[in-house]
Amino acid sequence: MKTIRIITFLLVFVTINSYSQDIPYGVNEKAGRYCDGWHFVKSDSLSVIKETMPSMTKEKLHYHKKAQQFFYILSGVAEFEIDGINCTVGQNRGISIKPGVKHRISNNSESNLEFLVISEPQSHEDRVNIDDDE
């Protein structure tokens, strides 16, 4: 119940702050495109980012040493690879990733994918990219 209240609060917070300043977040190295990111909370202990991922892009396979993450899909359909297993997460659904678990998100559709990524603690300095041939 506490988790549902936190997610509800974050969704309301995102809606209220949907006109905040755009902050470039990361580059999709395969496609050479930017994922736009809007930081709603950015502290050492918590990160809440709304991201827009362009069509037909994916991030590098990686894991986080300490951070756990929760991805909540706002629009579109996300494809996840999690420890070698593929799964699909649709709009108004989410998925939790524990620390140390190899994962990546991809957008294999013809339209943008919008999602929240909530990391605890923040994940930017504890990301470890995996060398892969893709």
Range of the domain at 43: 2-123
How many domains does one find in the chain? 1
CATH code where residue 76 lies: 2.60.120.10
The whole-number average pLDDT for the span 119-132 is 86
Residue type, 119: S
Residue 133 lies in a domain: no
Give whole-number Cα distances, 83 to 70, 77, 88, 103, 126, in Å.
16, 19, 14, 6, 18
Residue 129 lies in a domain: no
Residue 45 lies in a domain: yes
DSSP single-letter state for residue 121? S
The Cα–Cα gap between 54 and 34 comes to 8
Tens of pLDDT, residue by residue over 66-79, are 999 999 999 999 99
The Cα–Cα gap between 90 and 57 comes to 17
Tens of pLDDT, residue by residue over 16-57, are 444 344 444 443 333 234 577 888 888 899 999 899 999 999
Secondary structure percentages of the chain, helix, strand, coil, to 5: 10, 50, 40
Residue 112 lies in a domain: yes
Residue 11 lies in a domain: yes
